[in-house]
Structure 1
């Protein structure tokens, strides 16, 4: 475990760094292994559950999923995508939870009472038949978590947000009739905040609060390869580099009891400047698309993300009588992704999409309230209508099932003596519903 002792000097605190890296896989950087990266940004990939993610290359969203796929697009194309998700992630306190913490379950934790919007814009421009330029703007990393202020885990987390908004200038070149190469620069604007209650153990004072927040820029590279095995079959390979988001957040305390305020001031914690080095996952993915006949096509993807280097930071004070540390590093493990899907040409204007995917667990055993996700199944369906030679629209929905996630947090001291208390329970039958709509123009 990595932690920053509050008695360390400013130089020591700045040197302390928590890693958050991730990786591999799929590539858009979104919901890959039940973590903070999602595939869902309002495109047709929602209905396919990400199957064929880096090989489909049927519209301008390929700028994000595999920039090499732009060589398959004619002229200039722009796709506008939007989506809305509703998430059912609610904590159920168990018998092992400290009675002094009450019984508040925290409510729906993701987004705002379970609701969260998403989407993006994607542009592909033809310089020549073999050279394409592109640009994408989308939010594909992270999510806000909001618990009720007085929930049973308030001394571990009340609110936590890590978001990444990506700006992706891209280029693709068709080397020959079979091979295309593409690359994007990923300029990511990161938003970070973390809020936790502090147990004052002082009658009439109530809880204190610790809040960290910062915004910063990070830079990475997305590389893609598209190989056309024959006229109806293509293979896509993608790799996204790690992105460093070097957040530096001053510790902002409020409503501290006089005694605790004095102790923290003497140990240099009240003006501590914590360096929270978050590394957005590198990712790798292989995808395939094959047109079986004029009605059916099959799609598949396999990927990897390096969540073992992801160091999500838990903030707070374990013992307010002897506040030795403000932060702790949580541990995660690498994940794998597998997706299978199909497309069916129902009629000349209508194309139906289907898909199912599985992402392995990124947390061993009990999950953290900072990241109440683990392994996940995805089931998607969607439809697309060709309105004219130059316009198409589509709608898609996906259900993500995360199962029941157990949590077991043990405090060094009981609540009455200044500890955080024990928080034991589960997030039962977690699930997320995505509804997406998009429109693609050709110019």
Structure 2
């Protein structure tokens, strides 16, 4: 019994890392959501470029501030396909979707004809999921929330008329809350938090007024989520290593006609850095194999200028899956390949005010899970999608 309980506690903590590792949502940063991320590092027309590509801040001729207010709603349907042992007896179908608000703030100021500075307060990743107590895998997870907040000051230098370079520092705070085994008599709760640091590097190259490319790199941030694991009102110290992986993106902006522009992006996420999960309990340190793989993203989108004030926008994106093996899946976030479809519009009210409204649909597909623990297996299939919507407001001083 003692061995089974130890395995259960370890497995509960392992799930934390999947929560952070499976998805890094660039949507939470608010850069070009209306084009599914296409062109985010090359557009450079609002203060949000302080986060998307700090080098592109040299294109801002006036101090500019931006506010992004958004919502995220997930629809996650789990269908049990024959769970046994500890996982038997749960609902045959479970709705695990949830919703949460999000927001971000950006500011860019030109210092002179060569230097610009900016700062962004955003979230680079996070997740909310809620199965309820009747879920087949409730002993692994009932509900969970991971929230990150990132402060990103940066500076840019215009090398010449074509090339600009940027660097930035990152301070990221992460907070984790989870509940397991949802009954009145047997309740396990886990909490943790961490403040860690990283950096960014970026570049913008302008061929001419109509064609430019941008590049950005964000370093890995490794969190040690120190907190408590509480079982039947008795707590133990715990710490879980959560990696926010390094990522790089290259984007292009091409004005094809007076009205139409083409945007694209290619991205890479270093999920292979999550080979193992280090878990520290009072009884010792455990090393769990993860076997994640790097992911690649490709997106394409466009702008169409209706008139001097209104512009229509849209795009589509594809991202490979970090883990396709059902035996390596966890119920916190069902991982699979991602398709994103986005639309939006920008309204230029006057020289000072500009508004962008957007909607993005994320199709996570139908990943399967076959998670084994103590001679028991959680078997099921997911049908998951996520909706992002919001308004980005820019004000030029």
* TM-score normalised by L of structure 2: 0.88
Q: What secondary structure does 2:301 align onto?
A: strand
Match of 2:214 in 1: 236
Q: Is the 8 A contact 2:276 2:287 kept in 1?
A: no
Match in the other structure for 1:293: 257
Task: Indicate which of 18, 34, 45 corresponds to 2:32.
Answer: 45
Change (3 A) 1:19 1:237: farther
- In the TM superposition, what are the counterparts of 1:318-397 in structure 2 within 5 Å? 328-366=288-326, 367-397=329-359
User: Deviation digits for residues 413-437 of structure 1, max 9, x if unmatched?
Assistant: 3xxxxxxx43211112x21121111
Structure 2 CA distance for partners of 1:409 and 1:292, relative to 1, 3 Å: same
Given candidates 49, 60, 67, the residue that maps to 2:54 is 67
* CA displacement, residues 359-410 of structure 1 (integer Å, 9 cap, x when unaligned): 0011122232122132110111110011001111111111111111211123
The answer to whether the Cα contact below 8 Å between 2:29 and 2:124 also exists between their aligned partners in 1 is: no
> How do residues 48-127 of structure 1 correspond to structure 2 at under 5 angstroms?
48-97=35-84, 100-103=88-91, 105-109=93-97, 114-127=98-111
- CA offset at residue 145 of structure 1? 2.1
Q: CA deviation at 1:20?
A: 6.1
Larger Rg: 1
Partner of 2:365: 403
Q: 2:386 aligns with which of 428, 432, 439?
A: 432
SS at 1:410 equivalent: strand
Q: CA RMSD in A?
A: 3.2
Task: Answer yes or no: is the 8 Å Cα contact 1:133–1:170 preserved in 2.
Answer: yes
Query: Aligned to 1:217, what secondary structure does the other structure show?
Result: strand
CA shift for structure 1 position 158: 1.7
Q: Which structure shows the higher strand fraction?
A: 2
User: Structure 1 residue 311: deviation in Å?
Assistant: 6.0
Residue 50 of structure 1 aligns to a residue whose secondary structure is coil
In the comparison of the two structures, how many residue pairs are matched?
A: 384
Deviation at 1:160, TM superposition (A): 2.6
Q: Are positions 1:224 and 2:207 aligned together?
A: no
Does the CA-based 8 Å contact 1:20-1:312 persist in structure 2?
no
Structure 2: state its 5+ residue gaps: none
Superposed CA offset, 1:257-303 (max 9, x none): xxxxxxxxxxxxx7643331222111111111111121111111111
Residue 395 of structure 2 is matched in structure 1 by: 441
Structure 2 CA distance for aligned equivalents of residues 95 and 237 of structure 1: 47
Which ranges of structure 1 fall in alignment gaps of 5 or more residues? 8-12, 23-29, 199-204, 256-269, 316-322, 414-420
Determine the structure 2 residue equivalent to 1:150. Answer: 134
**TM-score, length basis structure 1:** 0.79
Residues 1:6 and 1:399: Cα distance change in structure 2 (over 3 Å): closer
Greater length-normalized contact order (CA 8 Å, ≥ 6 residues apart):
1
| CA–CA distance in structure 2, aligned partners of residues 312 and 56 of structure 1 | 37
Q: 2 CA distance for matches of 1:195 and 1:44?
A: 32
Tell me by how many angstroms 1:195 deviates: 2.8
Rounded to whole Å, the distance in 1 between the matches of 2:125 and 2:355 is 25
Counterpart in the other structure of 1:418 = none
Alpha-carbon deviation of 1:313? 5.9
Corresponding residue number in structure 2 for 1:259: none
Post-superposition offset of 1:42? 7.2
For the Cα contact (< 8 Å) 1:19–1:309, is it kept in 2?
no
Contact 1:303 1:336 in 2 (8 A): yes
SS of residue matched to 1:54: coil
In 1, Cα distance between equivalents of 2:126 and 2:370: 23
Q: Measure how far apart 1:184 and its partner are.
A: 1.5
